[in-house]
């Protein structure tokens, strides 16, 4: 299940994932929000709070994730990944030098730090 997170600046797309995540849910909530931010600001700050394992993402949801990642490749600014799974945090840290923008990973205990960082201003 996906829940869009509130209380973030308008240039931030933020969501929490728990339990099973379907392609339709990812498309209707996450992709729609990311597209809105990209269209309005030309850049995207992004936060995902994972309360589920990546294994709970359907193949369709994972493919949608890849699609949106490449569609807006040069628009990503700050991406905060919040997860208790050390391998997920490490994987994103390893990806950071390969993608546009900066990726930082955090534990659930560090959510406030992640929120503050991802809420920073977009570059000009």
Q: Any idea where the domains of the chain sit in the sequence?
A: 2-118
pLDDT of residue 100: 76
pLDDT of residue 93: 80
CA distance 123 to 60: 32
pLDDT of residue 9: 97
CA distance 112 to 74: 26
pLDDT of residue 73: 60
Parts of the chain with a pLDDT under 50: none
Local structure of 22: helix, strand or coil:
coil
Residues 15-42: pLDDT tens digits? 998 888 887 888 899 889 999 999 999 9
CB atoms within 10 A of CB 91: 15
Structurally, at CATH architecture level, domain 2-118 sits in 2-Layer Sandwich (3.30)
Angle at 24 between CA 2 and CA 58, to 5 degrees: 75
């Amino acid at each position: 299940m996906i829940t869009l997170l509130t209380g973030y600046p308008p240039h931030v797309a933020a969501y929490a994932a728990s339990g099973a995540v379907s392609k339709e849910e990812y498309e209707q909530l996450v992709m729609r929000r990311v597209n809105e931010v990209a269209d309005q600001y030309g850049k995207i700050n992004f936060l995902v709070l994972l309360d589920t394992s990546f294994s709970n993402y359907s193949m369709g949801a994972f493919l949608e994730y890849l699609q949106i990642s490449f569609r807006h490749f040069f628009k990503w600014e700050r991406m905060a990944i919040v997860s208790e799974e050390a391998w997920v945090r490490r994987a994103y840290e390893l990806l950071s030098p390969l993608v546009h923008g900066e990726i930082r990973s955090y534990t659930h205990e560090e959510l406030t730090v992640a929120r503050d960082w991802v809420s920073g201003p977009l570059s000009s």
